[in-house]
Amino acid sequence: MRTAHQLIVIVLFDQVDLLDVTGPPEVFHLARRETEEAAAYDVVLAAETMDPVVTAAGVRVLPDVTFGDLVARSIDTVIVPGAVEVDGDHRVHPLVDPALVRRVRELADRTRRVASVCVGAHILAAAGLLDGKRATTHWSTARQLAADHPAVAVDADPIFIRQGNVWTGAGISACLDLSLALIADDLGEAVALRVARQLVMYLKRPSGQSQFSVPLEQVSTTRRIEDLRHYVLRHIAEPLTVAQLAAHAHISDRQLTRIFKNELGTTPHAYIESVRVEHARNQLESTDATLERIAAACGFGTLDTLVRAFRRRLDTTPTEYRRRFRTAPE
């Protein structure tokens, strides 16, 4: 657990995404409020000059220091946010300024760890900091990152990835998850969880948590379907059936199927399986429970059913999924 003075530098440049810049300082501020051990966090915004920086949202942000001011200072963490431009065909392209890449490379040479937020991964990659490493970025630019930098093993699924002293985070709001992970690395899981509660985040998502989860993909608009979804969550370990859900909602099996199709664009059976897979993923990421126990706890009944569901929905096996995401920091 680190408690010594820790200077955290957030790189600032024109057209940067605003939340990428403001999210991490808020998380580190809450950590300082939650524990005296985090009082040593000193977060600064660094830019080429002291002139105001215009973010993509049009909000002007004032730097605290210039890159030149940091030459004589000991840096613990450098966080590189991202910026994009959208062309006439509505395609998203990351902004990668060669001068900024050189600055990031210089900073990285004398810092304990480097992290990128969202498409900031493209800047780290251009600086050569991701070569031979697995990395993530916003899903919309993952293919371009892989095409532009073949030496980088791009994985668009996780919320964040740690490879030694280099961390990469997924899209935009994942800057909060990444910052929480950095705090957990410094001060322990208990502190990070207290900060997550202050942020009113549903949970502190582990690195393997997908950018696309069941709650994000499927949004309902009626109380009836919300009640059914909560019922599924409460009874996930049980052998749920269409008849059981229909009886709970006081409707016919046919009405239930029609409601799921209209509201969630899927069938009751497929929805239940997706929730079970989501629960199994969380357990594979965060526990050492056996596959048999996870299969039972998530309502799959048998290990074979769990394996088939993972192959169908994730094109992998539970064992491979755990190997990728349930790993000790390198």
CATH of the domain spanning 6-198, picked from 3.40.50.1370, 3.40.710.10, 3.40.50.880, 3.40.50.1240 = 3.40.50.880
Average pLDDT over residues 45-53: 97
Q: What is the pLDDT of residue 35?
A: 81
Element (H, E) at 198: helix 189-198
Q: What is the pLDDT of residue 27?
A: 93
Indicate the pTM of the whole model. 0.67
Of the residues 8, 70, 114, 118, only one is catalytic, namely 118
pLDDT tens by residue, 158-188: 888 999 999 999 877 888 989 998 998 898 8
Q: What is the band of 247 on the pLDDT scale with cuts at 50, 70, 90?
A: very high
1 pLDDT higher than 70: no
Cα–Cα distance for residue pair 159/175, rounded to 1 Å = 9
80 pLDDT higher than 90: yes
Q: Where are the domains of the chain?
A: 6-198, 214-325
| 214-325 belongs to CATH 1.10.760.10 | no
118 is catalytic: yes
Cα–Cα distance for residue pair 219/264, rounded to 1 Å = 7
For 122, residues 6+ apart whose C-beta sits below 8 A from its C-beta are 82, 94, 96, 137, 141, 144, 145, 148
User: Exposure string (b/e) for 141-165, b if CB count within 10 Å is 16 or more?
Assistant: bbebbbeebeebbbbbbbbbbbbee
Say if residues 53 and 100 touch (Cβ distance below 8 Å).
no
206 pLDDT higher than 80: no
Q: What is the band of 218 on the pLDDT scale with cuts at 50, 70, 90?
A: very low
